[in-house]
Amino acid sequence: MRLRLVFFAAFLIALSILSPAVVPARAPAQTASRSKPFDLIAWNGGQFVYGVDYYPEAWNESRWEKDAAMMQAAGINFVRMAEFAWAKMEPTEGHYDFAWLDQALKVLNAHGIKAVLGTPSASPPAWLMAKYPDIAAMDENGVRYRYGSRRNYCMHNPNFLAAVRGIVTAMAEHYKNHPGVLGWQIDNELGSPDCYDSLCQAAFQKWCRTKYGSLDAVNKAWGTIFWGHTYSAWPQIPLPWNTLYGVHNPSLELDYHRYFSDANRDFLVMQTDILRRIAPAKAITHNEMGLFDAIDYSHLNTAIDFVAWDNYPMMDRNLASYANPGLAHDLMRGSKNQQNFMVMEEEGGLPGWNTFWGHQAPPEMYRVWAYQAIAHGADGVCYFRWRTSRYGTEQYWQGVLDQDSYPNARYAVVKQMGNEVKRLKDVLEGTHPVSQVALLVSPDTRWAFNIQTLVKDFSYNGQLHRYYDSLRRQGVNVDVVFPQGDLSPYKVIVAPSLFVVTPELARKLTDFVAGGGALVLTYRSGVKDEHNVFTDQTLPGPLAELAGVAIHEYDPQVDEASHQEIVLDGQHYPAKVWSDILTPGPAETLATYGKLYYAGSAALTRNRSGKGSVYYVGTEPDSPEFYDRLLAGILQGAGITPGPRPPDGIEVATREGSGRTVLFLLNYTAAKQSVDVGQGYRDALSSSSTSGSVELPEFGVRVLVK
Ligand code: GLA
Ligand code: GLA
């Protein structure tokens, strides 16, 4: 039930523990401070970080020099290496061999290419697991996995932890003064698998003990009186493993998600502590997964220097749905105080694994997506991978080059881009996305919805996208903020389906509105407290007063017969998923339901409160026009002037800073397009001045600056 997919690819397709002794308190809340953001360009010696993921260990050494020369010719100045090379770096227990990696670095460095080295814990060597079979994680039925695949370890196994400490210490000692090594990537895509062995159970119990102090407090918080599940000793607390009917207490499950996220952070911190102690000058990052839901990245990322993530737009998407990678970029940026980040794996070819194919994209798209990353705040783009593997599960996962190393069309595109990022460095330096609108994304809410499905058509990410996509269609930059984040920079905050609400969050939102902000809440808000316990206040619970509405009835739309419509200014829009039937208090009714027994009841309200206003959208309208219309009005009311409204399939985004505005126009379509940008821009690549209607070629990009 709870088994997470062990690789990112399948995660997207499927969309849907450290020394056990230490469970630190959750890290301090993030602030919006941009005072000392990590500067990726300065870190890379004043160059935009432009790279490829490189696996020299899988190719004959005679090839390395040719590779490095081809990389240099394409403008590449960065590689990530070694994250799956544990067996080669430690061929037998305690005997480390870095000679091959030294040689690869020498060849690359001679061509002006520096490296981030991955700590290799994601794929332990066969000898290690053979000696200590208990390193393998245990599934929820009590069966241990066996050797093979990757991400197969128990985070609390002492023999595994000792081996990880050994290899990480050896790498740190060996490379601490190496000028060609810029820093480290910890592990690879942390967040799986869940392990259900006794060590992990003990770690969860310890986490609960640290959080609650007493069993009484646990029993109270989780409401274990239900079905008489009261615990009288710590070892009785179970993991959410297989049970009859597959159900657990949702409060226990929410704490389990928090524990698992914290345990991943602890495992990462075990490594960062070693690296920082031995090699304090090197920077640390981790390759993350956008909207992946097992980890609260806003918490994890307090432990690393800068955010990096892995972006594969063609896993399950069509070309024009640029808002999918767009939201993921913005969430990744928001997970560390809106600081600029890098893409550690940018799709460089067709995705494919043993059992599936992604979609093929025109080669030009690999440039468009790289520019999209930059537009959303990336100061580095690293393509996965330099060359398609001849071996293993990823033989169909195309790199920039294919196995034959022929300088193909993707290589030509990567080379063009390499030339351009060199020229754009000065324009980009000191700029970042600036937004007046934020989307509030709550990991607790996401987990609570995963634990108890709302209705089959509900998707938390889908709700986020309804509003996010509309804002982007209107040319508006969007920040993602987490509940502990600073809300003060924003004029408008959209908080879709904010299911789990703490008193502190309710207070923050109230202050935001009192100060003049516009807040958009949507159906199923304020239902659960921080323990995933249902509120005993009238819905939307702690947000009811702020929203100025009461909800005494609701209608889950379990099938088509229950589908609704929402009527706004005489216009009927289809609606589905859920209806909160709103009883306005001080709030005014802006739209009503169009069908069924509650036709005419309020479906959308606005409450003027303090200097601001709160909108409550009781359902999920199924029409982009509805969102465009609603949000256009809210933006206007907040005094926000949207950017140029682009045609379909065109994205506009801006970065600002150092007295400049950089405007990106990105064409995801196979047709020529144009966008009216107004006056005063020059083209950052051609330096010619530009105003009025700007032409975009098919799958083309324009970077304008003023
Ligand atoms: C992930 C992993 C890479 C690789 C790619 C493609 O992003 O980090 O090692 O497996 O997927 O499958
Ligand atoms: C059965 C059980 C009750 C309750 C209801 C609703 O009737 O006897 O305890 O669980 O179903 O689920």
Q: Ligand 1 pocket, 53 CB below 6 A?
A: no
Q: Ligand 1 pocket, 397 CB below 6 A?
A: yes
Q: Which of 162-176, 198-212, 310-324 has the lowest mean pLDDT?
A: 310-324
Q: Provide mean pLDDT across the span 197-210.
A: 98
Whose CA is closest to atom 1 on ligand 1? 8
Q: Provide mean pLDDT across the span 82-93.
A: 98
Shortest-distance ligand to the CA of residue 245: 2
Residue indicated by tokens 């490829």: 52
What string of DSSP letters covers 78-131?
EEEE-TT-HHHH-SBTTB---HHHHHHHHHHHHTT-EEEEEP-TTS--HHHHHH
Does the pLDDT value for residue 8 go beyond 70? no
Q: Ligand 1 pocket, 189 CB below 6 A?
A: yes
pLDDT confidence tier of residue 1, bands split at 50, 70 and 90: very low
Could you tell me the distance, in angstroms and rounded to a whole number, from the CA of residue 443 to the centre of ligand 1? 24
Could you tell me the distance, in angstroms and rounded to a whole number, from the CA of residue 225 to the centre of ligand 2? 16
Per-residue pLDDT tens digits for 240-295 = 999 999 999 999 999 999 999 999 999 999 999 999 999 999 999 999 999 999 99
Per-residue pLDDT tens digits for 478-532 = 999 999 999 999 999 999 999 999 999 999 999 999 999 999 999 999 999 999 9
Q: Ligand 1 pocket, 164 CB below 6 A?
A: no
**pLDDT value of residue 28:** 43
Q: Provide mean pLDDT across the span 451-465.
A: 95
Shortest-distance ligand to the CA of residue 85: 1
578 sits in the region (left: phi over 0; alpha: psi -120 to 50; else beta) called: beta
Does the pLDDT value for residue 23 go beyond 70? no
pLDDT confidence tier of residue 30, bands split at 50, 70 and 90: very low
Average pLDDT, the chain: 94
Q: Which residue of 192, 314, 384 sits with most ligand 1 atoms within 8 Å of its CB, as the best mutation to test the pocket?
A: 384
C-alpha closest to that of 218 among 232, 197, 228, 200: 232
Q: Provide mean pLDDT across the span 390-410.
A: 97
Q: Provide mean pLDDT across the span 664-685.
A: 96
C-alpha closest to that of 315 among 350, 345, 291: 350
Residue indicated by tokens 């909207």: 291
Does the pLDDT value for residue 7 go beyond 90? no
Q: Which residue of 11, 354, 394 sits with most ligand 1 atoms within 8 Å of its CB, as the best mutation to test the pocket?
A: 394
Could you tell me the distance, in angstroms and rounded to a whole number, from the CA of residue 395 to the centre of ligand 2? 52
Q: What span, in angstroms and rounded, lies between the C-alpha atoms of 302 and 297?
A: 9
Q: Which residue of 119, 151, 189 sits with most ligand 1 atoms within 8 Å of its CB, as the best mutation to test the pocket?
A: 189
What is the atom index within ligand 1 of the atom nearest the CA of 394? 12
| φ, ψ at 89 (rounded to 5°) | -85, -25
Residue indicated by tokens 């509003």: 467
Q: Ligand 1 pocket, 11 CB below 6 A?
A: no
pLDDT confidence tier of residue 561, bands split at 50, 70 and 90: confident
**Residues designated catalytic:** 189, 345
Shortest-distance ligand to the CA of residue 228: 2
Q: Provide mean pLDDT across the span 351-356.
A: 90
Q: Which of 16-30, 32-46, 181-195, 572-586 has the lowest mean pLDDT?
A: 16-30
**pLDDT value of residue 35:** 52
Could you tell me the distance, in angstroms and rounded to a whole number, from the CA of residue 591 to the centre of ligand 2? 38
Could you tell me the distance, in angstroms and rounded to a whole number, from the CA of residue 454 to the centre of ligand 2? 20
Q: Provide mean pLDDT across the span 63-82.
A: 99
pLDDT confidence tier of residue 624, bands split at 50, 70 and 90: very high
Per-residue pLDDT tens digits for 141-153 = 999 999 999 999 9
Q: What span, in angstroms and rounded, lies between the C-alpha atoms of 165 and 210?
A: 25
Q: Ligand 1 pocket, 565 CB below 6 A?
A: no
Asked if residues 418 and 75 have their Cβ atoms less than 8 Å apart, the reply is yes
Whose CA is closest to atom 9 on ligand 1? 188
**pLDDT value of residue 318:** 72
What is the atom index within ligand 1 of the atom nearest the CA of 345? 7
**pLDDT value of residue 321:** 86
pLDDT confidence tier of residue 2, bands split at 50, 70 and 90: very low
Q: What percent of the chain has pLDDT over 90?
A: 90
